[in-house]
Structure 1
């Protein structure tokens, strides 16, 4: 089928109606092995079912327990429908250069206007190979700016009716142009939040309850268990909640011994999350 390209990343199978969007990205891991990512498709279901039923893989992701097949099918259908309708926010399925499934990354719609929430999951055999950072970098440095550019209508020779339709399709972040990325990570999932920081994410600054008075992690006020540093952070946050110093689903600043700011929350289901964001240039 002939597609109509609108950029190096995006093209349409049905350009007249700006539907059936095709998206492609590629890069290399830290050993220079190539990966390829494309828009999620129905044929990917078998890969996602296997990946998201793996207890080791999902331990630090989302609800931190295996997904049901029904939930996986429903989620893939949402992402697939967005591409079919011509919108860019959804999942990329990632393969190696031998067409072996690696995992996926989601650049979806966030809870705020103009915000895309990022999350990614890789098969265990591809951990610690630099793929997560490489894929995330491509999303942040190429996909995001391109989505924003098209949403603004920049680079189009003329804004005729067809390009106006395309431009509208890319203003899909609660009806607005993409302006910011958002992501969360458990404190004990150190590799995840370090990757976010390496690609330019900073602790989220929006909706923070104690912006003028960060909680000092050094003034703990109780004996921490003999755990690694990141586990201590989670234990500290849980103790704050038990002592009613923080509330559920509220964001707070915490400063560590090096004066580094973390934005964190304790969620209703007991999970602890760091919150990160990055503006799109």
Structure 2
């Protein structure tokens, strides 16, 4: 029986071509340039078997990032497992905004770090920053630490339920991409979201539960003039602005992602909201 070519494997996979290419190149451990030159070659039996297995899992809905174990973020490859949310391009806006607002030598903390893509990127882009990150999940922290080690980023990681492990610490910048999907949102049962950790997606409430907690606790951990940056859903910009206003933040603004959706809301804390007693252990 004639072996199929690599191009035939792609055509017959039943997948979108980009997904099929990523999986095939992962199996072959080759680049797209290699595929251009070898696409009409007969596929090796071991490649056929491995690709067929992965293609079947993809057709069943498993995210490509989990199948290959990595996802690109800010031009770098980050390891991902089903223990962490898959990094998304929209979150690059959060990083870009943080890089813009972080002063020289500033202290930054990422709340709910997941894969660690946010703090690792901040440290690599701005080595002058002192970067910390927390997550409640030990499995997620293990992934984040591996990414930091692999990419050479000096980031401190702590297990913490939001601010719980940060008693007495203050920062110039707090960033977070918390779970913000409303518990009954139908998207939770669709596409890649079906395979991602539910606790990283939804607060099992109205979508604002964790955003409220982060905003409420920020005063204790921001220095005067410090910024809080929050990623949120496309329809939560107004709610986040209102919550920041109620908490006394100033210079409140919402920035839009490449799809023109509200995505990152930020606010600055003034000296009148910072009290020494708030920072005591």
Give TM-score scaled by structure 1 length. Answer: 0.29
Question: Which structure's residues are more often strand, by fraction?
Answer: 1
Structure showing greater Rg: 2
Q: What TM-score does the superposition give when structure 2 sets the normalisation length? A: 0.29
Bigger helix fraction: 2
